[in-house]
Amino acid sequence: MQISLSPIRISLMAFLPLALACGDGAEPAGGADASVEETLPDAGEDLVADAPEIEITACPDRIVLGEAGSFAFRVDAAHRYSLEADGQSPGAGPLLDEGEGDAEELIGVQISSDTLGLGEHELRLYAQKRSGSEVASAICTTTIVSSLRVLYLNGRFTENSASMVRQAMELDPRIGSVDLETYGTLNPSPPSLEEMLDYDVVMFSWFNASTFASGSSFGNRFADYVDAGGSLMLLGHSMDIDTLLGRLVTSEYVALRPAEPGIHSGVHTLVPVANEHQALDDVSAMSTSEHTVTTVADGATLIAEWDDGDPLLAIKGKVVNLTARIASNDAELSGDWEELLINAALLATEATP
């Protein structure tokens, strides 16, 4: 991520006139009879030789927390500072940080999506330097986007379908990025746990264990990821019979279990089960030409189903199951599927393990 630096300088200059124009052989100002005392300020009046100056020399314009959870401002002088969010003047917004320094300082800031909430926010750094009765102020305004990083593991879907899903999700400012990885016979192993932990959400779709025997390795790795605090979304045919295996299934992390006959073809539409659930915000309708047949696992919450009674969306802990087949070549795909995908990702990250 490139951060542009925008120096901002505000200096309050308040010089008192001094007529001390004396040099070699020069007469005092005001004539030969004028006294030097007449050129001095009255008793009790401040004499300021230099008004204070302060500059914020490093002021990032825009930061995406999905790429950098920490950043810095630099103030060039002795100062006091406060960092506030979404306020138009000092003290008007929530205080995130404050302090003071004796000299030039790099002010490091650590902010997470838990601090601000997802979406765009405006941060203001207020810095001041005082000299006598004079105060210099500087303000740095930064737009910060608190968003999720998503890893989309794509199997049998075409590149067009995967790109369609990624582009739809990245339109929402709460989704910072969706990185795509394709697996199959040439790439049969799951990513490392360390790689997955760089992401807030891992999405997994279209798995076919008959093409490469790695159902257990994926299931075990996903269970490790959830144990480490990760959020997992299982889409479409990743829940077919004899696909995902391993500890994710045997230890019942999943919200929906595979069931016979595996796949239902034909157009079906969404029916809300939990009408006021946040996962259904801005979702009024959805239909596809195919979905995976499942049953609800013990301890899971069913949020929506298909009009034939098959489960559509459910959550259990940090695992969300969405049985819709979302593909670019599905002429029957319609409705608010983009909103449902985004809501499901947000739901997984907000859930309690």
288 & 162 share domain:
yes
Within 13 Å and on the Cβ side, how many CA atoms surround 39? 15
Residue (of 245, 234, 237) closest to 208 by Cα position? 237
Q: Which two tokens stand for residue 113?
A: 């999506």
Domain boundary among 123, 146, 169: 146
- Is residue 285 situated within a structural domain? yes
List, for residues 20-51, the tens digit of each pLDDT value. Answer: 233 344 443 344 343 333 333 343 343 333 55
- Is residue 222 situated within a structural domain? yes
- Give me the percent of the chain exceeding a pLDDT of 90: 25
Is residue 281 scored above 50 in pLDDT? yes
- Is residue 342 situated within a structural domain? yes
- Is residue 1 situated within a structural domain? no
Domain boundary among 126, 146, 166: 146
Distance of CA 57 to the CA centre of its chain: 25
Do residues 138 and 10 lie in contact, with contact meaning Cβ atoms separated by under 8 Å? Answer: yes
98 & 220 share domain:
no
Domain range spanning residue 321?
148-350
**Running DSSP on this structure, what letter comes out for residue 169?**
H
pLDDT at 227 (0 to 100): 95
Specify the amino acid at residue 294: T
27 & 81 share domain:
yes
pTM to 2 decimals? 0.67
130 & 185 share domain:
no
Of the listed ranges 22-26, 152-156, 250-254, the least confidently predicted one is 22-26
292 & 341 share domain:
yes
**Domains: count for the chain:** 2
**Running DSSP on this structure, what letter comes out for residue 228?**
T
46 & 125 share domain:
yes
List, for residues 74-131, the tens digit of each pLDDT value. Answer: 777 767 888 888 776 767 777 877 888 777 667 776 666 666 777 778 888 888 887 7
* CATH code of residue 29: 2.60.40
179 & 310 share domain:
yes
100 & 23 share domain:
yes
Say if residue 219 is exposed, middle or buried (CB neighbours under 10 Å; 0-12, 13-18, 19+): buried
* CATH code of residue 183: 3.40.50.880
